Chains A and B, each alone.
Chain A
């Protein structure tokens, strides 16, 4: 079984500042990792995913994440945030069959002017 921990429930940050949203996972097998974003009253939208290959993954809206197997982490970063990035961000892991997705508790990113 796998699990996902997002250590920060809320991250306030000023506009144009860098941000890192932390995600750690536990699994006894190889996993695939995802970050989703949820805007208010919307469904979830995929930001990026790691399946294999390069450990640095670039996604939409200027976000990127780095897979670190030794630390079992998949932190999400953006060098300069915008007001429009205010949303809830979910880290997720799937099993090696790729058919079961487990989500973390989410991190609410609040970008202030």
Chain B
């Protein structure tokens, strides 16, 4: 298996633009997580899906952020409109049974909003 695949690896965009980050989880995993990593706040859980259904989105910063999981093999995290403070590395992780077993992380998307 190729592991969790995220695209793009790097994204530079202007303030106000829409940004879409993509994630393909490991086949057979039924839990998917989006994390954000910054120097100031460390790793923060944004949202968690189980069987394609959002279970907890309390970590989503505000309405500008939205996440979808239309099927078991694909998820998106969208920011509209983007702001400079959204600059961070965004990680997607998947797990076969939730965090209890192990979360497998993608290599992340480094987002820079100028």
Binding site for B on A (CB under 8 A): 32, 36, 41-46, 49, 51, 90, 94, 97-106
Contacts and interface: CB of A to CB of B under 8 A. Distances in A.
Interface in B14-67: 31, 33, 42-43, 45, 48, 50, 55-56
Q: Which 10 A-B pairs have the closest CB atoms?
A: A98-B100, A43-B105, A103-B43, A99-B98, A44-B105, A101-B99, A94-B99, A105-B42, A43-B107, A46-B102
A44 B91 contact: yes
Contact of A101 (B4, B33, B106): B33
A46 B108 CA distance: 16
B48 to A, nearest CB: 7
Contacts of A106: 42-43
Given A90-B43, A106-B42, A99 B50 contact: yes
Contacts of A97: 98
A85 to B, nearest CB: 19
Contacts of A46: 102-103
B37 to A, nearest CB: 9
B102 A43 contact: no
Nearest to B107: A43
B98 A98 contact: yes
